[in-house]
Amino acid sequence: MPLFSRAKPEPQPAVSVAPKPTPEPKIRPLAGAPGADSNGLRGIDEHRDYLLSLIGEMRPFGIGLMDAGGLTLCETLTSDLDLPIYTSATVDGWAVRASNLVGASDVRPVILPIVGEVKATDVRGTPLTPGTAIRVAAGAPVPEGADAVVPVSYGLVAGDEVQFKSEAHFQQNLWLAGSRVSDGDRLLGHGALLTPRALGLIAEVGYDKVLARPRPRIAVVTAAIGLVEPGLPLTRLNQRYDSTTAVLVASLREDGAQVFTSGIVDPEPRSVANTLSEQLVRSDLLVLLADITPELLRGLAKLGDLDVADVDGFTIPMVFGLVGPDRVPLLVLPVNPAPAYLAYELFGSPLVERLGGQEVIDPELIDGHLTSPLESDPIRTRLVLAHSTSAGVRPLPFAGAQGAAELSDANTVVFVPAGMGVLPAGAGVVCWVLG
CATH of the domain at 67: 3.90.105.10
Say yes or no to pLDDT of 431 above 90: yes
Mean pLDDT value of segment 115-125: 88
168 half-sphere exposure, CB direction, 13 A CA radius = 28
Q: 0.85 cut: is pTM over it?
A: no
The answer to whether residue 37 sits within a structural domain is no
- Euclidean distance between CA atoms 112 and 185, whole angstroms: 39
Domain co-membership, 69 together with 157: no
Domain co-membership, 400 together with 424: yes
Q: Determine phi and psi for 117, rounding to 5 degrees.
A: -145, 140
Domain co-membership, 165 together with 192: no
- Euclidean distance between CA atoms 296 and 109, whole angstroms: 96
Tens-place pLDDT, residues 155-200: 999 999 999 999 999 999 999 999 999 999 999 999 888 999 999 9
Q: Is 420 left (phi over 0), alpha (psi -120 to 50) or beta?
A: alpha
Mean pLDDT value of segment 232-237: 90
The answer to whether residue 15 sits within a structural domain is no
Q: How far is CA 50 from the centre of its chain?
A: 21
Say yes or no to pLDDT of 15 above 50: no
Choosing from 155, 175, 195, the residue where a domain stops is: 175
Domain co-membership, 226 together with 341: yes
Residue 299, helix vs strand vs coil? helix
Choosing from 175, 204, 234, the residue where a domain stops is: 175
Domain co-membership, 68 together with 194: yes
Domain CATH code at residue 234: 3.40.980.10
Tell me the pLDDT band of 201, cut-offs 50, 70 and 90: very high
- Residue-level pLDDT at 378: 94
Domain co-membership, 286 together with 414: no
Which ranges of 259-323 does DSSP label H, i.e. alpha helix?
269-279, 294-301
Mean pLDDT value of segment 23-42: 81
The answer to whether residue 347 sits within a structural domain is yes
- Residue-level pLDDT at 339: 93
Residue 33's nearest CA partner among 308, 227, 324, 402 is: 308
Domain co-membership, 151 together with 237: no
Residue 219's nearest CA partner among 263, 271, 180, 169 is: 263
Tens-place pLDDT, residues 393-424: 999 987 556 778 888 989 999 999 999 999 99
Q: CA torsion angle for 268, 271, 277, 280 (degrees, to 10)?
A: -80
Tell me the pLDDT band of 77, cut-offs 50, 70 and 90: very high
Mean pLDDT value of segment 84-103: 95
Spell out the residues 6+ positions from residue 264 whose beta carbon is closer than 8 angstroms to its own: 222, 223, 224, 227, 228, 229, 242, 245
**Where are the strands (E) in 56-175, listed by range?**
61-64, 72-73, 77-78, 88-89, 93-96, 110-118, 133-136, 148-151, 155-158, 161-164, 174-175
Tell me the pLDDT band of 20, cut-offs 50, 70 and 90: low
- Residue-level pLDDT at 31: 82
Domain CATH code at residue 164: 2.170.190.11
Say yes or no to pLDDT of 10 above 60: no
Domain of residue 65, residue span: 61-83+186-213
Q: Determine phi and psi for 103, rounding to 5 degrees.
A: 85, 0
- Residue-level pLDDT at 311: 96
Domain CATH code at residue 392: 2.40.340.10
Choosing from 305, 325, 355, the residue where a domain stops is: 355
- Residue-level pLDDT at 338: 92
Task: Report DSSP letters for 399-434, one per residue.
Answer: SS---HHHHHH-SEEEEE-TT--EEPTT-EEEEEEP
Q: How far is CA 113 from the centre of its chain?
A: 62
Cis peptide upstream of residue 84 (ω within 30 degrees of 0): yes
The answer to whether residue 19 sits within a structural domain is no
- Euclidean distance between CA atoms 150 and 322, whole angstroms: 72
Q: Give the orientation angle of helix 294-301 with respect to helix 269-279, to 10 degrees.
A: 40
Domain co-membership, 66 together with 206: yes
Domain co-membership, 159 together with 193: no
The answer to whether residue 26 sits within a structural domain is no
Neighbours of 272 (CB within 10 A): 23
Mean pLDDT value of segment 94-107: 96
User: CA torsion sign, 348 to 32 to 274 to 214?
Assistant: positive
Domain co-membership, 375 together with 399: yes
The pLDDT mean for the chain works out to: 90
- Euclidean distance between CA atoms 232 and 252, whole angstroms: 24
The answer to whether residue 16 sits within a structural domain is no
The answer to whether residue 2 sits within a structural domain is no
- Euclidean distance between CA atoms 214 and 118, whole angstroms: 48
Indicate the number of domains in the chain: 4
DSSP element (H, E) containing 365: strand 365-369
Where is pLDDT greater, at 211 or 12?
211
Sheet holding 318-323, edge to edge: 258-265, 217-223, 285-290, 328-333, 318-323, 304-309
Say yes or no to pLDDT of 14 above 60: no
DSSP element (H, E) containing 49: helix 44-53
Domain co-membership, 92 together with 79: no
Domain co-membership, 298 together with 343: yes
Neighbours of 351 (CB within 10 A): 26
140, 122 Cβ separation under 8 angstroms: yes
The answer to whether residue 17 sits within a structural domain is no
- Euclidean distance between CA atoms 168 and 185, whole angstroms: 31
